[in-house]
Amino acid sequence: MKPEQMAMKTPFRIVAGTFAVLLALGPVAGCTFGGRTSVAGGTAAAVPVADKEWHSLAKSGRAAYLRNDFKAALPLFASAANRSRALDDPNGLAVALLDQARCLEELEIVDALAVRDREASTATPVVREDSFMPERLRLLDELRALRSDDRLSVKRRAELDVAVAGLPREWTELDAIVDRTPPDVLSPADRARLLFARIEPLDPDDPAAACDLLKECPPDDELPPFLRARRQIMRILYCEVDELETLESVVAIYREAGRADGVAFALSSDIYQYIRSPDPVHVGDMLLRGAATCHALGYVHLAASLLDRAEAVDNPAIRECTEKLRASLRIPSTHDSADPKGESAP
């Protein structure tokens, strides 16, 4: 483990007060509505759904989720959960709650970018204020309590187990969850989530144990983009890999998934300064791409900070490209007295 790289866990770990909440959840593309299937890709519930209102809400939420509009999907899944409560339907409720949790997880990247942008504007650490934290904690408490409902299907209970397995207060139950979960019940995505949950409590001074577990992860072609990216970031944290090439793979995963915020998050990482044998041209190129992407998304202070980092790369070609991009984006150097607001200095 490289201690300085622990910041790379930001998109998967939220800190609020004394809470450290890890939601090992993510999307699986291509799910259909033949029965109750969550955006995590579970199979149909044991009892077919007959309620048209639940289906309509869930289908609309799924459509928004698959186009990466998580803020629009969130209230639709919340309404589906309310419909399940009205019907006293624990299986439908489990699906809707899990879908809400996954939307909140996807929004973590947006939160993290906002924090980085504020830090770049003040040059001081920013205490992360996660507006979604109360909702996350409420969901997790409800998911945990729902596991005791005897009417849940085996698969639904297993999905709920996986959903809470990564929480620090659940680590003592990890072995029991693994033992009672039949392997053939879990989808490849859920197997990966449970694997990542098992890695979290491991001794950070023993990265080999985590790296060995990562070898058991299902192949990439069986995982959704979010989990593929998470696996690669964990490889950077725990395994002896080419950090830049592995980070490039994270960028590619998010780019192919249409997640510009994920691309910006990966390219604005602090990992560059901890690479053992950095290629200055490659580092500079990634910093410049990160600056352009962050600027396009409105994170102007973060873009300016990345330009300053690129400017410090010991390579004439990179410095020249940095000057051209800075002029194109109309971002003054943060070394200047002007505040980087995306306008030319007077």
- pLDDT by residue (tens digit) across 41-80? 443 333 345 799 999 999 999 999 999 999 999 999 999 9
Question: Is the CA virtual torsion 218, 221, 227, 231 positive or negative?
Answer: positive
Can you give the pLDDT at residue 135?
79
Can you give the pLDDT at residue 46?
36
Can you give the pLDDT at residue 314?
87
184 in a structural domain: yes
Q: Which two tokens stand for residue 303?
A: 């873009």
Q: Would you give per-residue pLDDT tens digits along the chain (346 residues)?
A: 443 443 333 332 222 222 222 222 233 222 322 345 666 544 333 334 579 999 999 999 999 999 999 999 999 999 999 999 999 999 999 999 999 988 988 888 888 898 899 888 886 666 555 566 677 788 888 999 999 999 999 999 999 998 888 776 666 678 888 888 887 888 898 899 899 999 988 888 889 999 999 999 999 999 989 899 999 999 988 998 998 999 999 999 999 999 999 999 999 988 776 676 678 899 999 999 999 999 999 999 999 999 999 998 889 999 999 999 999 999 987 655 444 444 433 3
Domain housing 160: 3-189
Whole-number Å distance between alpha carbons of 177 and 165: 8
199 in a structural domain: no
Can you give the pLDDT at residue 60?
96
Mark out the alpha helices in 268-333 (DSSP H runs).
Answer: 280-296, 300-311, 316-329
- pLDDT by residue (tens digit) across 197-216? 999 888 888 899 999 999 99
169 in a structural domain: yes
151 in a structural domain: yes
- pLDDT by residue (tens digit) across 205-256? 889 999 999 999 999 999 989 899 999 999 988 998 998 999 999 999 999 9
Question: Helix, strand, or coil here: 153?
Answer: coil
Buried residues in 251-260 as b, exposed as e (16+ CB within 10 A): bbbbeebebe
278 in a structural domain: no
Q: Which residues contact 336 (CB under 8 A, 6 or more apart)?
A: 345
Closest by CA position to 140, among listed 162, 163, 158, 157: 163
333 in a structural domain: no
Q: How many structural domains is the chain composed of? A: 1
Can you give the pLDDT at residue 332?
84
Please, which residues bridge with residue 21 across strands? 14
67 in a structural domain: yes
275 in a structural domain: no
Q: Which two tokens stand for residue 36?
A: 């109750």
